[in-house]
């Protein structure tokens, strides 16, 4: 059995009188792809926000490779090797695609980012070459000198994924990575994420598209009304009556 790299222990989170997360227990194995599914409003994005330090839990803790993440700032968690692709792409719209990918590369290498670093981009041949390679991996190389604001929503998501990959994260958290993509682009992204898995990167994916989930996941946790109602292999989850009632057989 692989080592547990991410451990969510008894996490609870409320917003006023609304219990968003209740007694969440989650273990993610190294090198595996762990999917979290559930209806809208189940608490999936809230759980990721707790893991990356954007939200503080009311109770419980999150541990990554022996480091307690609870109470740390998002940038500190990122420096430990955790990167996240957000539900709404977070990019620099006025920069080119190449510059967007270079920003986190500089920050990861130097511990901070200075805007004048972009002006010396031609001297950063090693990082620039790596950025080009990653843009090619995600299918965006031909747009490398275009302004990021000109991209479609699906391509903006690919760009954000490239911005994460250049950081060489040990754990990649993806919040609906194929949202807004055509079926062709979705299938291309699935193949890309499979390639990342072959490199040994651990991933946690939130996704509504069951084709994506069952193509990638080694293990699935199902959230409903802030609670994990089922967990297991894709085959076990697919046949679970509770899951079919709460998610697969419902409105989704």
Helix crossing, 97-110 with 125-137: angle to 10°? 120
Kindly state the tokens that stand for 58: 């009311």
Rounded CA-CA distance 136/195 in Å is 13
Residue 59 has pLDDT above 50, yes or no: yes
Helix axis angle for 97-110 and 153-165, nearest 10°, is 30
Say how far apart CA 32 and CA 231 lie, in whole Å. 15
Domain 4-81+169-248 adopts which CATH fold?
Rossmann fold (3.40.50)
Q: Which of 25, 10, 41, 30 is nearest to 169 (CA)?
A: 30
**82: which strand partners?**
171
CA triple 52-58-62, angle to 5 deg:
40
The pTM of this model reads 0.87
pLDDT-wise least confident of 47-51, 131-135, 194-198, 248-252: 248-252
Residue 1: per-residue pLDDT: 44
Instruction: State the Cα–Cα distance between residues 81 and 64, nearest whole angstrom.
Output: 9
Band of pLDDT at residue 112, cut at 50, 70 and 90:
low
pLDDT at residue 153, as a whole number? 83
pLDDT at 204 over 90: yes
Neighbour tally for 20: CB within 10 Å: 23
* Residue 249 in this model has a pLDDT that exceeds 60: no
Dmax (CA) of the chain: 58
- Domain residue spans in the chain? 4-81+169-248
Q: What is the pLDDT of residue 203?
A: 95
pLDDT of the residue at 46: 95
What mean pLDDT do residues 5-17 have? Answer: 96
Which pLDDT tens digit goes with each residue over 160-187?
999 999 989 999 999 998 887 888 888 8
């Amino acid at each position: 059995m692989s080592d547990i790299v991410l451990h969510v222990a008894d996490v609870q989170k409320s917003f006023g009188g609304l219990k968003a997360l209740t007694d969440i227990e989650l273990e993610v194995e190294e090198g595996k792809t762990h999917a979290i599914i559930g209806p809208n409003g189940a608490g999936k994005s809230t759980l990721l926000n707790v893991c990356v330090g954007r939200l503080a839990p009311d109770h419980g803790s999150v541990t990554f490779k022996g480091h307690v993440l609870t109470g740390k700032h998002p940038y500190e968690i990122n420096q430990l090797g955790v990167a996240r692709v957000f539900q709404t792409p977070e990019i620099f719209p006025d920069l080119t695609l190449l510059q967007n990918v270079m920003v986190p590369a500089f920050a990861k290498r130097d511990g901070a980012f200075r805007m004048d670093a972009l002006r010396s981009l031609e001297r950063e041949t090693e990082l620039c070459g790596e950025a080009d390679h990653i843009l090619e991996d995600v299918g965006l190389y031909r747009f490398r000198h275009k302004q990021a604001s000109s991209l479609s929503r699906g391509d903006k998501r690919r760009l954000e994924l490239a911005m994460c990959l250049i950081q060489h994260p040990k754990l990649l958290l993806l919040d609906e990575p194929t949202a807004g993509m055509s079926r062709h682009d979705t299938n291309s992204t699935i193949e890309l994420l499979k390639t990342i898995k072959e490199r040994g990167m651990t991933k946690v994916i939130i996704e509504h598209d069951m084709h994506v989930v069952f193509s990638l996941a080694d293990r699935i946790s199902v959230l409903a009304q802030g609670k994990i109602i089922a967990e297991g292999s894709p085959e076990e989850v697919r046949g679970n009556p509770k899951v079919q009632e709460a998610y697969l057989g419902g409105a989704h």
